[in-house]
A and B are shown apart, each in its own frame.
Chain A
Amino acid sequence: MGSLGRAVYTLGLWIRETGQAMDRLGCRLQGNYYFQEQLSRHRTLMNLFDKTPVVDKDAFVAPSASVIGDVQVGRGSSIWYGCVLRGDVNSISVGSGTNIQDNALVHVAKSNLSGKVLPTIIGDNVTIGHSAVIHGCTIEDEAFVGMGATLLDGVVVEKNAMVAAGALVRQNTRVPFGEVWTGNPAKFLRKLTDEEIAFISQSATNYINLAKVHAAENAKSFDEIEFEKVLRKKFARRDEEYDSMIGVVRETPSELVLPDNILPDKAQKAVQ
């Protein structure tokens, strides 16, 4: 660094210190109403003494999700924004390819009235919708729990069964194979058609792909984020059709290209 650079750097340091002093003065003037921001103390994965969450390396856990205690998350699973998986008094195991969507809550019961222990076991390729509440349940492979559903202690959702949106499933209910349950309390509505059963596994696949995109985005460092912001600005307002009309070929930078397996027609490509 040249001596001029050194001088400018020192000047910058002085001005910054002045700015911080001004900030402190402003805070002092605000008095008791002043709130100082802290670093985020949210822990995505948190252990309770010896109960440690075990998360596969291919799983996506959103930074705003909390995975606490004895939780096992399998390969390709995704735990979305604002989810809470609280395995404090018992264990939670989430299979592979399962998605637990935003703001959902999975919890366990120590024991229910009859003294049975109730860990939560969620199978493979399960779709659990937004804001669902799962409390001490067993959800078998390729089941579907709709948005805002509530499953109370000891519920078993069998393979390919579906709990519709907004349903409340009462204690110790068994939702049999290939049925849709809905309402409060949940009751049998109808049988699932084969198409819908296919849709459940398809939805799980879509979410595996989508989770990869989100995981990549959320794991970016500050420098990458800034770099992509600049790139995005540079390549904004460039209409592809217009460019092709005037005969300009511009390539979108590879950082800004999403993997196309999140598109619906190409989703099948990434089936594992």
Chain B
Amino acid sequence: MATLARLSRRILPRTLSNLRLVRAFSAKAAQSAEQPAPPATTIRESADRVKWDYRGQRKIIPLGQWAPKIAVDAYVAPNVVLAGQVVVYDGASVWNGAVLRGDLNKITVGFCSNVQERCVIHAAWSSPTGLPAETSIERFVTIGAYTLLRSCTIEPECIIGQHSILMEGSLVETHSILEAGSVVPPGRRIPSGELWAGNPAKFVRTLTHEETLEIPKLAVAINDLSKSYFSEFLPYSTVYLEVEKMKSSLGISI
């Protein structure tokens, strides 16, 4: 049955596109039968919506006059999205799958800091506290994987554990550590030299002197790792050759 349909799709692309439309309506009808109050909106498709962009997602997305800036020796992974007012300073590293979206306010990633995999950093319009609503990550900060930051200030030499969430206007002072999975509510201040954990974040204990000394060491270790990644990427990719090859094979003049 499926093969037959597949064949028919190959032979009759026109009819199938009609069929698909009919199907969309029938799906909607089925939905309305199940759900008493479906949203009565019509979806108008556009034919020129791109389903496959051969360029993929651009890493740097300027918005108006705001262009993201990356220092020459910062490592930003290829599938990171930097949009708007984002500055990545020297020695910082932004790892795969992270999204830094500075479209409402500034985002800075300081010297030797690192933002690990799949983090989302965003900034809000305004913060409930008097702090500036920009997200600033200062030097020697380690931000764990899957962390979400929104308009918060992280002072030098902190560690933010994995899966943490920092809401608007929160402040993490120097030499403090957030455990994995902690949620910092809006406007909360984490004083310096303390360890916090939980949802919502609560005080656990003060850090010993040795532990605070370890914090920059961790950041530097990750910086070293990022250097080996950085050296793996050439300054220009050679994909344009592929594009030229594809275009010439399709008969498009370059």
B252 close to A (CB within 8 Å)? no
A95 close to B (CB within 8 Å)? yes
B134 close to A (CB within 8 Å)? no
Interface size on A, as a range, is: 35 or more
Decide yes or no: A258 and B41 within 8 Å by CB, A40-B54, A40-B56, A131-B118 being known contacts: no
Chain A nearest CB: distance from B118 CB in Å?
6
Residues of chain B within 8 A of A123, CB atoms compared: 39
Residues of chain B within 8 A of A219, CB atoms compared: 50
Decide yes or no: A148 and B163 within 8 Å by CB, A38-B239, A39-B239, A262-B104 being known contacts: yes
B210 close to A (CB within 8 Å)? no
Q: Write out, one digit per residue, whether chain B residues 78-99 have a CB within 8 A of any chain A CB (1) or not (0).
A: 0101010000000000000101
B135-143, B153-161, B223-231, B240-248: which lies at the A interface? B240-248
B27 engages A44 (CB within 8 Å): no
B35 engages A121 (CB within 8 Å): yes
B242 engages A81 (CB within 8 Å): no
Picked from A20, A131, A235, A264, the residue with its CB within 8 Å of the CB of B146 is A131
Name which residue of chain B comes closest to A168, CB basis. Answer: B199
A214 engages B83 (CB within 8 Å): yes
Chain A nearest CB: distance from B253 CB in Å?
14
A43 close to B (CB within 8 Å)? yes
Decide yes or no: A42 and B61 within 8 Å by CB, A20-B241, A75-B41, A91-B27 being known contacts: no
Residues of A55-77 at the interface with B, using a CB-CB cut-off of 8 Å, are 55-57, 61-64, 70, 72-75
Picked from A23, A64, A252, the residue with its CB within 8 Å of the CB of B57 is A64
Question: In the complex, what distance in Å separates the CA atom of A55 from the CA atom of B44?
Answer: 8
Q: Write out, one digit per residue, whether chain A residues 200-238 have a CB within 8 A of any chain B CB (1) or not (0).
A: 000000100010011001110010010011001001100
Q: What count of chain B residues pass the 8 Å CB interface test?
A: 64
Residues of chain A within 8 A of B31, CB atoms compared: 91, 93, 119, 121
Picked from A45, A73, A182, the residue with its CB within 8 Å of the CB of B43 is A73
B187 close to A (CB within 8 Å)? no
Chain B nearest CB: distance from A43 CB in Å?
5
Decide yes or no: A56 and B61 within 8 Å by CB, A49-B2, A64-B79 being known contacts: no
B41 engages A95 (CB within 8 Å): yes
Question: In the complex, what distance in Å separates the CA atom of A125 from the CA atom of B105?
Answer: 23
Picked from B35, B45, B52, B125, the residue with its CB within 8 Å of the CB of A55 is B45
Residues of chain B within 8 A of A88, CB atoms compared: none
Q: Could you list 16 A-B pairs, sorted by A, with CB under 8 Å?
A: A37-B242, A39-B242, A39-B246, A40-B54, A44-B50, A44-B51, A46-B51, A54-B43, A63-B56, A64-B56, A82-B97, A96-B39, A119-B31, A130-B120, A219-B50, A232-B62
Closest 8 pairs between A and B when the two form their complex, measured CB to CB: A40-B56, A57-B46, A64-B57, A258-B64, A166-B183, A130-B120, A102-B99, A45-B51
